[in-house]
Amino acid sequence: MTDPNAQTLLRVLHGEKLDIPPLWLMRQAGRYLPEYRALRTEKGGFLELVYDSPAAAEITLQPLRRFGFDGSILFSDILIVPYALGQDLWFEAGEGPRLAPPLCENDLAGLTLRREKLAPIYETVKLVKAELPQHTTFLGFAGSPWTVATYMVAGAGSKDHGLARRLAYGNPVRFGKIIHAIIDLTVEYLAGQVESGVEAIQLFDSWSGSLSPLEFDKWVIEPNRAIVEQLRVRCPGIPIIGFPKGAGGKLAAYAQGTGVDAIGLDETVDPHWANQVLPKGLPVQGNLDPLALIAGGEALKTATENIVSAFVDRPHIFNLGHGILPDTPIEHVEMLIKLVRKEDK
C-alpha cells in the first residue's frame, strides 16, 4: 500500500487513483515565463543556461514558485547525450539545434566520448533537490534513442526525419550501432540523474510518429524496453514515464512492449479511446492541447473536463500533450490549475 503522505505524483506513478490528479506541464520552465526571459537575457543563449548549473536550477524552480505544480522537471535538453557522445552542439537563432559532424555522412566510430558533458547536469539536479518543496516530485529525463538519432544523423531537426529513416532502412546494422550507443549512454546518464536526486524519469520519443509499424517496433519499442530494463537494475523502484509522441494506434503495443510505468499521451489521442485500449490500471499522463491552453476560456474548460472525465477510473497525471508554447498567457495556466484542482467549486 502506498504511503498516503507520499507525493501525489509518485503515488499515481505507483498505480494509485486519486480524486484530484497531480499536475505538471512539459516545458513548464521556459520562455512563457517573464522571469525565465529575464535570466536568459542576463546569461546568454540556451545551451549556456543549461551548462550554468545555478542558472539551470533557478529556471527549474521558477514555475514551482509561481504555480506550485506537483512535479518539477529538470531544465536541460535531449541533445546532451549526443553532445556527450562526441558531436558538437550549438543552437542557431530562430533555427534550432545543430550537431556536427552529421552521422548521415560520418561514422559513429569517429566520435570521442566526453562524459564530462554530463557532470554539470548532475550538479543542477543536486542544486534543485536541495531547494525543492517536499511535496513536489522531481522528474529527470532523456530523449529516446530514435528521436535522438534523428538529430544525430541529420545534424539538425527535420520535418520527416528522412535521413534517419533512409539510413535505418538502407543500413540497419550501421543505424543500430548509433541506437545502441545512445541506449548505453542514456542509461548511464539517467542513472546519474537518479543518483543526484531525481525521483522519476520521462523518456521523450518526440518523433516516434514518423515510423512505419515494423520500424516502430525496431527503433522505438525495443530501444525503450532496453533502457527500462537496464534502469530497473541500476535504479530499482524509480518510475519511468514513456512519451511516444505520434504513436497513435501503436500506444498499447508501446506500453506492453516497453514495460514503462506510465504512458504520456500527445494531444491528438482521444483520451476516452486511450482509456479503453491501454492496459488496465496503467497510469497515464496528459493530454491537453497546448493551443487549448493558449485559447483559455470555454475551450480550455471543455478540453480539461473531457480529459479528466476520461481517466476518472484510472491513475492519471494531468499534463499537456506536448510542451507549453512561448505565447501562453500566465493567467490561462492559473485557470488550468484551478480547473484541475477544482478550486473554483
Residues with catalytic roles: 27, 31, 40, 77, 151
Closest CA to 9 of 340, 342, 344: 340
Would you tell me the crossing angle of helices 119-131 and 53-67 to the nearest 10 degrees? 40
DSSP annotation of 208:
G
User: For 268-293, b where at least 16 C-beta lie within 10 A, e where not — what string?
Assistant: ebebeebbeebeeebbbbbbbbbbbb
Q: Which amino acid is at 209?
A: G
CB count in 10 Å sphere of residue 129: 16
Q: Give the full edge-to-edge strand order of the sheet including 240-244.
A: 71-73, 137-143, 200-205, 240-244, 262-264, 284-285, 316-317
Do 70 and 23 meet the contact criterion of CB atoms below 8 Å apart? Answer: yes
Closest CA to 291 of 278, 279, 300, 283: 300
Three-state SS at 65: helix
What is the pairing mode between strands 96-100 and 88-92? antiparallel
DSSP annotation of 38:
H
CB count in 10 Å sphere of residue 338: 13
Give me the phi and psi of 137, to 5 degrees please: -85, 135
CB within 8 A of 190, min separation 6: which ones?
Answer: 140, 142, 201, 227, 231, 235
Do 220 and 161 meet the contact criterion of CB atoms below 8 Å apart? Answer: no
